[in-house]
């Protein structure tokens, strides 16, 4: 069955969508919507510059490889707070993220963003699904992303797929940085993602966290900014698994393979606590 696309003429209303998210706490079903949302968006230079500053990217004439997530965020919110989406948005856990940069993202202005969900599967702690995002320019597909999301407490028939064992890569320390206490609020201002678990210790405790934690996509963006000299500008896939959250404030250490067409990365904290692991490779 081909996916049905709904084209939006007006931007999603984020305050209204946050209200929907805050007032919905129940699981209402076990079937994902069979449609996607699309919308034309424009890159705004001032917002892009603010994002670069918060995430550590330099101005090189290209969109940062993680920036399309920001362009798609409001559309994702609209899809994940729709009446026929069965899971409450607050409480979803971002387990993994994979992006594919198909062509160099330079001279980018007007884009078409599409989002949909797919691949609902049982998980040891509930159910997982993929939030899929695509970005096209006038020449065609430009960028793609797959975010693996967990909803606790969902009961699905069947067995959860076994996790693939992680190989041991030879990594060396590349750099380290501070994740300051206010980085959740600063990233929220440039991304639109005001999830309470990232904003303050007070709001994080409402959801079971003793401290605010950094956004997973800030961790990935800050990592790719640090790896910018390692990675090609296009024809690349960068996949990460989010492990233990980065509590704010804290210091983190980035370990990586030597520069090359493929490699591995790991983000660690005090006591070698693993926050994120992943790899990059050329597109097949």
Residues 240 and 234: their CA atoms lie apart, in Å, by 17
Contact 257, 263 (CB under 8 A): yes
Residues 123 and 143: their CA atoms lie apart, in Å, by 28
**Homologous superfamily of 1-163:** Hotdog Thioesterase (3.10.129.10)
260 or 228: which carries more pLDDT confidence?
228
- Report the chain's mean pLDDT, rounded to a whole number: 94
Please give the pLDDT value at position 247. 96
Tokens, residue 231: 């990675």
Number of Cβ within 10 Å of residue 55's Cβ equals 26
**Beta-bridge mates of residue 184:** none
Please give the pLDDT value at position 108. 83
Does the CA dihedral 58-59-65-67 come out positive or negative? Answer: positive
Q: pLDDT per residue over 1-33, tens digit each? A: 578 999 999 999 999 999 999 998 899 999 999
Domain with CATH 3.10.129.10 in the chain: 1-163, 169-284
The pTM of this model reads 0.95
Looking up tokens 């303050």, which residue turns up? Answer: 200
Give mean pLDDT, residues 241-261.
93
Asked if pLDDT for residue 46 goes beyond 70, the answer is yes
CATH class of 169-284: alpha beta
Q: Edge to edge, what strands does the sheet with 172-179 contain?
A: 4-7, 35-42, 110-123, 126-137, 140-152, 93-101, 236-242, 274-282, 263-268, 250-256, 172-179
Please give the pLDDT value at position 139. 93
pLDDT band at 62 (very low <50, low <70, confident <90, very high): very high
Q: Helix, strand, coil shares of the chain as percentages rounded to 5?
A: 25, 35, 40
């Amino acid at each position: 069955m081909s996916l049905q696309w709904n084209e939006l003429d007006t931007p999603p209303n984020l305050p209204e969508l946050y209200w929907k998210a805050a007032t919905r706490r129940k699981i209402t079903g076990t079937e994902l919507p069979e449609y996607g949302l699309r919308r034309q968006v424009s890159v705004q230079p001032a917002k892009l510059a603010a994002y670069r500053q918060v995430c550590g990217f330099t101005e090189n004439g290209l969109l940062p490889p993680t920036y399309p997530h920001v362009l798609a965020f409001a559309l994702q919110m609209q899809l994940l707070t729709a009446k026929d989406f069965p899971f409450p948005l607050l409480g979803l856990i971002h387990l993994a993220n994979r992006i594919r940069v198909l062509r160099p993202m330079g001279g980018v202005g007007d884009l078409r963003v599409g989002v949909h969900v797919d691949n609902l599967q049982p998980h040891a702690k509930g159910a997982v699904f993929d939030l899929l995002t695509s970005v096209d320019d006038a020449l065609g597909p430009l960028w793609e992303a797959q975010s693996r999301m967990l909803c606790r407490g969902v009961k699905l028939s069947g067995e959860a797929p076994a996790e693939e064992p992680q190989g041991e890569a030879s990594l060396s320390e590349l750099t380290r940085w501070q994740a300051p206490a206010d980085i959740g609020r600063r990233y929220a201002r440039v991304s639109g993602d005001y999830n309470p678990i990232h904003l303050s210790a007070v709001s994080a405790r409402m959801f079971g966290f003793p401290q605010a934690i950094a956004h997973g996509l800030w961790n990935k963006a800050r990592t790719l900014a640090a790896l910018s000299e390692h990675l090609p500008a296009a024809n690349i896939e960068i996949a990460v698994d989010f492990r233990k959250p980065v509590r704010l404030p804290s210091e983190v250490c980035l370990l990586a393979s030597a520069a090359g067409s493929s490699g591995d990365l790991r983000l660690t904290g005090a006591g070698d606590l693993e926050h994120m692991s992943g790899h990059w490779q050329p597109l097949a």
